[in-house]
């Protein structure tokens, strides 16, 4: 297991300006700052980070053993039972932590209205300030430990794809192929999946965010696979597009344009480069090939505990600069209705002097059936 310094991460929460405490609910932020990977459920769990350097948490009694397994957090628990309900725990936390009338920093992307209403019921003088932008900014620069976990996630995901392709053949359904790929990842030590495994065949691949269906894979058509395993919650997010058999001339032309766009974006990216410039590098190649109207999404997104992180945003017009430690995807695509789509997606890390490409799976269209 890679050691993560949670106290160091929590210190950054206390530097967020203008709030008297920061509150986190289960999800990627709670996992990032504490290592606790509770699921968001109907039972509220709220972690508090106060200026005194302490962590406190409103927590259902049944989850207390998982908190007790983490003595390093030195968290003060405000536990509640299903019988008594959680209202008193909210009141007690606000009172004991001296937060009455104070301004609480909340993650507006994950805290639910029901939770904020429970705070207001406990103390109507509380004020909320959204801090989700501060949180994603802190998480945007990855530590060497985080990058190593994503390196491991990529490695096992690529090995799983290799095992899958030794088995895959025309006649299998998209769902069967996806299930086998997930089994391969589990067998190789993946602790989850970054998102629902996407296997799209033939014309189905023309939908960039379509779904895996019962359609049967044929020879000589596109097979698009977008997937990723996780290691300690850190994901890979890889897409490769194949053809079992003989692709048509148009399929080869589309594939070549996407591959060249992917290469151009990788060549353009590095420290100090505007995020939009990387998107432009990919888009120019696809426009020159005559498929500009069929590249209908951004070139890439930030990658971390959330598979889609908002920083960096590899999209047209974003002038913010890439910095060392940022991890993101490069995933240009062309989608032609009726024919199908091609996407080639890699995972990269900005280094001090360039770019490390985490993914190395062959970018090769033709597979022999």
Q: Which residues bind Co ion (CB under 5 A)?
A: 226, 237, 239, 329, 345
Neighbours of 178 (CB within 10 A): 22
50 or 239, CB closer to Co ion? 239
Q: How far is the CB of 322 from Co ion (least distance, A)?
A: 17
221 or 331, CB closer to Co ion? 331
Joined together, the tokens standing for residue 113 give: 């209205």
Cβ-count burial 335-358 (b if 16+ within 10 Å, e if not)? bbeebbbbbbbbbbbbeeeebeeb
209 or 368, CB closer to Co ion? 209
63 or 237, CB closer to Co ion? 237
Q: How far is the CB of 91 from Co ion (least distance, A)?
A: 43
Which residues, in sequence order, are CB contacts of 355 under 8 Å at separation 6+? 266, 269, 270, 348, 349
Q: How far is the CB of 218 from Co ion (least distance, A)?
A: 23
312 cis-preceded (ω within 30 degrees of 0): yes
**Separation between Cα atoms, residue 336 and residue 207, nearest integer Å:** 9
**Separation between Cα atoms, residue 94 and residue 101, nearest integer Å:** 9
Q: How far is the CB of 75 from Co ion (least distance, A)?
A: 34
Are the C-beta atoms of residues 316 and 366 closer than 8 Å to each other? no
Q: Are strands 222-227 and 230-231 parallel, antiparallel or unpaired?
A: unpaired
Q: Radius of gyration (Cα) for the chain, nearest Å?
A: 23
**Separation between Cα atoms, residue 263 and residue 255, nearest integer Å:** 12
Joined together, the tokens standing for residue 128 give: 């909320």
Q: How far is the CB of 35 from Co ion (least distance, A)?
A: 25
- Beta-bridge partners for 301: 313
Are the C-beta atoms of residues 327 and 310 closer than 8 Å to each other? no
Are the C-beta atoms of residues 250 and 243 closer than 8 Å to each other? no
104 or 334, CB closer to Co ion? 334
13 or 282, CB closer to Co ion? 282
34 or 190, CB closer to Co ion? 190
Q: Helix, strand or coil for residue 261?
A: helix
- Beta-bridge partners for 130: 106
Question: Is 196 buried (19+), middle (13-18) or exposed (0-12) by CB count in 10 A?
Answer: exposed
Q: How far is the CB of 300 from Co ion (least distance, A)?
A: 7
10 or 329, CB closer to Co ion? 329
Q: How far is the CB of 308 from Co ion (least distance, A)?
A: 7
76 or 159, CB closer to Co ion? 159
Q: How far is the CB of 191 from Co ion (least distance, A)?
A: 19
**Separation between Cα atoms, residue 116 and residue 108, nearest integer Å:** 10
Q: How far is the CB of 329 from Co ion (least distance, A)?
A: 4
47 or 149, CB closer to Co ion? 149
φ, ψ for residue 351 (rounded to 5)? -105, 180
Q: How far is the CB of 196 from Co ion (least distance, A)?
A: 11
């Amino acid at each position: 297991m890679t050691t993560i310094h949670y106290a160091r991460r929590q210190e950054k929460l206390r530097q967020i300006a203008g709030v008297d405490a920061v509150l986190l609910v289960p999800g990627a932020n709670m996992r990032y700052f504490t290592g606790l990977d509770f699921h968001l459920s109907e039972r509220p769990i709220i972690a508090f980070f106060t200026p005194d350097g302490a962590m406190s948490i409103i927590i259902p009694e049944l989850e207390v053993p998982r908190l007790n397994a983490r003595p390093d957090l030195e968290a003060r628990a405000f536990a509640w039972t299903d019988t008594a309900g959680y209202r008193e725990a909210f009141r007690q936390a606000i009172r004991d932590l001296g937060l009455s009338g104070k301004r609480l920093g909340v993650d507006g992307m994950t805290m639910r209205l029901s939770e904020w209403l429970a705070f207001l019921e406990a103390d109507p003088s509380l004020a909320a300030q959204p801090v989700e932008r501060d949180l994603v900014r802190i998480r945007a620069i990855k530590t060497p430990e985080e990058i190593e976990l994503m390196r491991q996630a990529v490695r096992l995901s690529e090995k799983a794809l290799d095992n899958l392709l030794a088995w895959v053949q025309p006649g299998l359904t998209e769902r069967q192929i996806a299930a086998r790929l997930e089994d391969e990842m589990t067998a190789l030590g993946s602790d989850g999946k970054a998102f629902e495994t996407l296997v799209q065949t033939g014309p189905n691949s023309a939908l960039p965010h379509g779904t895996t269906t019962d359609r049967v894979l044929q020879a000589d058509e596109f097979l698009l696979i977008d997937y990723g395993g996780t290691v300690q919650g850190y994901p890979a997010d890889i897409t490769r597009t194949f053809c079992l058999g003989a692709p048509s001339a148009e399929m080869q032309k589309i594939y070549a344009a996407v591959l060249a766009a992917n290469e151009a974006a990788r060549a353009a990216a590095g420290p100090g480069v505007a995020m939009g410039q990387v998107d432009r590098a990919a888009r120019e190649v696809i426009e020159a090939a005559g498929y500009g109207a069929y590249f209908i999404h951004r070139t890439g997104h930030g990658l971390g505990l959330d598979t889609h992180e908002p920083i960096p945003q590899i999209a047209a017009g974003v002038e913010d600069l890439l910095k060392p430690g940022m991890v993101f995807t490069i995933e240009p695509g062309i989608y032609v209705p009726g024919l199908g789509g091609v996407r080639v997606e890699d995972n990269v890390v900005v280094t001090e002097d360039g770019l490390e490409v985490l993914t190395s799976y062959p970018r090769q269209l033709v597979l022999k059936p």
